[in-house]
Structure 1
C-alpha cells in the first residue's frame, strides 16, 4: 500500500467534505461533519470550532478531549486569530505568549478564522500532539474546506 502525501490526503478530504456538506444548510451539522472528517483522516489531538458569541469565542462542534468552553478576544491562539483576522500557525504552543493550555498534550496548533458575509463568525482550531505539525499547506487546504460551506 502506498502512503499518500499530505496534499493527496487533503485533496481526498476536500472531495469527501464537499459531498458531506453539499445541500445541507445547517452550519452546526456541517461543522460537526467537517471536524469528524479532519479528525479521522489526520488523527490530530483536537479538531474543533469556536464560534463568536458577543465578545467571546464559545466552543462549538469538536473531536478530541474536553476543551476550554470560552475564549476572549485576543487571548491565546484562537483569540489572537479572531482579533487579527489572520491564520495562526504555532510550531510550539509553549512559546506562544498567553497560550491557553486546555490540554497538556497539545504541542502545536493552527487556527483559521472563518468568515461569513465578510465577518468573522468563529475559528477552526486544530491541535497536534507533535511539534511543528502545520504549514502553509495546511492553511491552504483548511481554508479551502471552510469555503465549501461558509459564505
Structure 2
C-alpha cells in the first residue's frame, strides 16, 4: 500500500514499483471517485476495497483522507509505504499536476495534523504484521525503490 498527502507522488511510486516487481497496480482514486468527483459512500467503498484487496498480489495507491476506510486494505497489506512529505513539496507537485478543489487543498494543508495521526493509528491497529516504511522525502523513497531495480 502507498499512502500519503495529496501531491506526494503515490501514483508515480506505485507505477514504478509495479513496473519493477510485475505486481498489478490499483489506483484507488479511479475506483472511488464517480462522475463530477462524487465520493463513493463509505459502506460501498468498504465492499469495493474488499473485492480489490481479495486478490493475492497487488500494489494499491491512494489516501482518501476523511473519505477512506483504511482497515479493509490494511489487514491484507504486507508492506505499507507512507510518503510523509512536506506541504510545500506536495503543493508544488499538485499545482503542476492539475486544478484541484478547495476540499483537496484543505486536506493537503491539514494532512500532517489531521490525516497522518489517523493513518498511524490505523497502521497500529490493523497492520501489525506489515512492513511499514515512512519516507520524509524523495531521496529516501528513491533509495527504497532502487532495491527493486
Q: Which has the higher helix share?
A: 2
Q: Which has the higher strand share?
A: 1
TM-score after normalising by structure 2: 0.30
**Larger RCO of the pair (alpha carbons < 8 Å, separation 6+):** 2
TM-score after normalising by structure 1: 0.30
